[in-house]
Structure 1
Amino acid sequence: MEQIQSSKNKGEAVFWSHLGKIYKQKSLPFSKLKVGDVVLTDKENISNELYEHYMEQFKPPLLDFTNTHDMEIMKEFEEILKGLSTSTEEVEVTNTSEIRNAIRSLKPKKSAGYDNISNFIIKRLPPGYIQGLGNCFNLWLKECRMPNEWKLAKIKTLNKLKAGVPKSDQTRPISLLATHSKLYEKILLTRIRSWAESNHIIPKEQSGFRPNCLIPTRVLSIYQEVLNNMAANSPTLSIYFDYQKAYDKVWHAALIVKLSRANIPSALLKTIWFWLSMREAVVVYGELSTSKFPISIGLPQGSSLSPYLFIVFHSDIVRQTGAFSTHIFADDLNVLISAPLGKKLEPMLQFLELEGTKEKLLNLRCFYLYCDTRVHYYDQLIIPLLHRMLNLERLDLHLKVDRYKGFIDGNDLKKDIINHIPRLNQFTFNIRLFNRSSGQNNIPSNEDIQRTFKDFVNNQIISCADHFQESHYSYCLIYSHSYRLKQCDNISNNFPGGLFKYVYEVSLHDERSFEHEFFLRIAQSFPFMRKLTLNLIEAHDDYIELFLLHTKLYLQNNVRLTVHYESLRLLTDNFQRDATRINCVRMEYTCYDNVFPFPKYFKDYFLHVRMLGLR
């Protein structure tokens, strides 16, 4: 605390540096390891289990010999290696000045590697040693190699759990490399980066691990893009991807092939392959060290080359996804989709459909999917995704679906979902469906839909169906009791009632007028309601007036009103009528009409306004 107080006078950067050290999450040490139902306490047994786990994790990837893509990669990879074996190109040599700069960039408090030489010692090397080091580096750069002793990593494991006994897959490996190797890799990185940047290999959307491309800048770009879309009344879907064990999953052969296709100089490619191949590691637990084991997949952790080679490896992901706007972080991906931009969703949907049906998710036991924006590709994307979860035991779906082929009922859920997941023993759902099919005359009744759930013995299923003739669509809500969402929307006169203990926001919509008894039913069903949305776009002016007159209806400060501006102007005498002022002041008005500026007295009528009509 004294350091924080004294750092206030030393500048903002120093202050936040000290504060960050205090709140930095630290890994808890572990003296036990769980294997199945057995808890290991002996240090040697724990060390052996970690050894087996990481040896399995870093073994060569299994190739699918029926997969044409894998076979093409391997064939091309073998041809590349033949060419590299006869290559006589050399990597650009270094000098003592570049080596000194690399030494200055080393963090003095980093742990020593397998050679037990720390950064602290390296930073105090005499000039003569640096000169000798430069001679060695230049020899290896010319020969496109490095000492094999530098390819050995010391793996220390950190506990990812905040409490309890971890399993092997709940530990995080930290690789400690030889310090001289880190220096050599920094020299090599400048040459790889120079090639990639000058040839525009890395897309402009990539932030992290690049000079002058900070991650906060990318975050601000996302914020600004979403803000611009909101100003244009353009809905934006934002999807975030996190690569699981990103560096550990890189296939060496595919990386070499991709670098070769990008026309990297053969000397750099040869050096990278030498750096990747024949790597080994030992696991250190306490004072125990395991035997060496080979690392045949992934990029070495702790190396300055690994992050940059990783972003080169997936540099073409922007083109492959076909997304409208993509933002790439160090090892994360953000995709923004905004339909009104005039581009088609079809290319990306085809890509997602193709990729989404390849791999079965056999280890997944529980899956929860919540989407409050309308899903337009339920049958094309959601159903194929669920078919991959063969061993799923618990499924929870909360969806708002736009569909052009009728309602989703019990028969659909059994045919499309339940019959494909044999181990499923708990299935809860809340599906709100907008049916926009052309055949609106053959819409099933609510009783017809309810009968399709007669075999759902473990759940009480509630359904509510509506047909809006003037709007040419029908709506159906099906959910497994009890209703646990915080919002309940599109409630019509067909609302069956019931007690909704978790709902605090309600919206009403119907082509028929709501009567007094209906509002009594709403009040009884939603005792904890804090917000009510009234969409009166299609309502008659006489009906709208009932909500505006405080003598007809008492309103609290929790109502959102959606109505045409012209109707509002007429009913309020151009926003000067006292009889409607009290209720209007309490409402939040949502305006879809292109109106601006508002009349002089408007601001005294509505204190809260949402403008969704401006373009």
Structure 2
Amino acid sequence: MFEQFLAALKLRVTEWKEVKQKRPSISPSLRILLRHKHYLQNRYRHSKYEEDRLRLRSWNLLVKQEFRALRQRSWEHFISKVASPSPSTFWSTVKKLNKKKSIDFSALTDGNTVHRSPEDIVKCLNLHFTERHSQPLLNMLDILDKDADELWKLYSLADKEDIKLVSSQSDLQFSEQEIKNTIRSLKNKNSSGFDQVSNKMIKLLPAHYHVLLTHAYNELFRAAHWGKEWKMARTICLNKSDNPAPTTSQLRPISMLPTF
């Protein structure tokens, strides 16, 4: 219920805006200089006054100087990262140079067949990843696998009320501080799964909601029940090739797991 409340709140307070241009790579001050230069160009084009021509010329020189300074600062910043003694900084910089933008795919190649409809693509991907991530086989000679199999059989045959009774007598209890530490350790991501709740939303929750989450988790573990929403993940496939109709092996799946 709390997840549904957060998802509804997100849709309620989010303002959707259509962006018609890409994010500029220059600073706001340079954009102001360019805007004024265009104004002077239009003014001189209509007036043809000598005073406007001189003003446009001086302003054009100023804009060129600012862009040369920007390129110089960018180059110095890049060199400082490449020459950084930290290996992670060096490799992250080099990785950006060789990184290619993922190409969206509108079809999927499976042997000699090309799937183009969304339904056929989903069926093909489902079959591929189901076979790839099949259920592992248990080795009954391994003590851990044997104990896990016996425990699962007992759990499957047990009565639900007996399970609740045993779980209620367990000493497993989450404290509010543990919930706070877990929330603090989350990555600050905006992506969300089927629950439409992101890590950033959880990290922005007021502190008094931590008591509610602590009580909810203790009740869930006491009842030994978790909803199907926690077992579902939204999967996004990125194209690793330049082909708009790649094969399943050329896709990189990314799973958007539920935040809770």
TM-score using structure 2 length: 0.52
Deviations 1:19-39 (A, max 9, x none): 266247454432221121122
Number of the residue aligned with 2:9:
none
Number of the residue aligned with 2:109:
34
The structure-2 alpha-carbon separation of the partners of 1:170 and 1:6, relative to structure 1 and needing over 3 Å to count, comes to closer
The structure-2 alpha-carbon separation of the partners of 1:126 and 1:159, relative to structure 1 and needing over 3 Å to count, comes to same
Higher helix share: 2
Number of the residue aligned with 1:22:
96
- Partner AA of 1:39 in structure 2: V
1:52 to 118, 127, 139: 127
**Retained in 2: the 8 A contact 1:4–1:19?**
no
Higher relative contact order (CA 8 A, sep 6+): 2
**Retained in 1: the 8 A contact 2:103–2:244?**
no
Number of the residue aligned with 1:148:
228
**Retained in 1: the 8 A contact 2:140–2:146?**
no
Number of the residue aligned with 1:334:
none
Distance 1:4 1:150 in 2: 47
- What is the deviation of 1:157? 1.5
The structure-2 alpha-carbon separation of the partners of 1:147 and 1:17, relative to structure 1 and needing over 3 Å to count, comes to farther
- What is the deviation of 1:43? 3.5
**5 Å matches for 1:129-140?**
129-140=209-220
Distance 1:110 1:59 in 2: 30
Where 1:107 maps in the other structure, the secondary structure is coil
| Alignment pair present for 1:178 and 2:219 | no
Distance 2:75 2:211 in 1: 42
Number of the residue aligned with 2:57:
none
Whose radius of gyration is greater, 1 or 2?
A: 1
The structure-2 alpha-carbon separation of the partners of 1:52 and 1:99, relative to structure 1 and needing over 3 Å to count, comes to same
Distance 2:113 2:153 in 1: 49
The structure-2 alpha-carbon separation of the partners of 1:128 and 1:31, relative to structure 1 and needing over 3 Å to count, comes to same
Counting aligned pairs with the same residue, the percent is 31
| Alignment pair present for 1:100 and 2:175 | no
Deviations 1:203-246 (A, max 9, x none): xxxxxxxxxxxxxxxxxxxxxxxxxxxxxxxxxxxxxxxxxxxx
Where 2:208 maps in the other structure, the secondary structure is helix
Distance 1:79 1:28 in 2: 48
- What is the deviation of 1:115? 1.0
Distance 1:114 1:24 in 2: 33
Aligned length: 175
TM-score using structure 1 length: 0.24
Deviations 1:482-533 (A, max 9, x none): xxxxxxxxxxxxxxxxxxxxxxxxxxxxxxxxxxxxxxxxxxxxxxxxxxxx
Distance 1:136 1:24 in 2: 46
Number of the residue aligned with 2:207:
127
Distance 2:173 2:180 in 1: 15
Ranges in structure 1 where 5+ consecutive residues have no aligned partner: 181-615
The structure-2 alpha-carbon separation of the partners of 1:104 and 1:4, relative to structure 1 and needing over 3 Å to count, comes to farther
The structure-2 alpha-carbon separation of the partners of 1:178 and 1:37, relative to structure 1 and needing over 3 Å to count, comes to same
Higher strand share: 1
- Partner AA of 2:258 in structure 1: A
The structure-2 alpha-carbon separation of the partners of 1:5 and 1:15, relative to structure 1 and needing over 3 Å to count, comes to farther
Number of the residue aligned with 2:196:
116
**Retained in 1: the 8 A contact 2:188–2:200?**
yes
- What is the deviation of 1:126? 0.8
Distance 1:97 1:44 in 2: 46
Number of the residue aligned with 1:428:
none
Over aligned residue pairs, what C-alpha RMSD do you find? 3.9
Distance 2:179 2:98 in 1: 32
- What is the deviation of 1:150? 0.9
- What is the deviation of 1:146? 3.0
Distance 2:208 2:249 in 1: 46
**5 Å matches for 1:397-436?**
none
**Retained in 1: the 8 A contact 2:238–2:252?**
yes
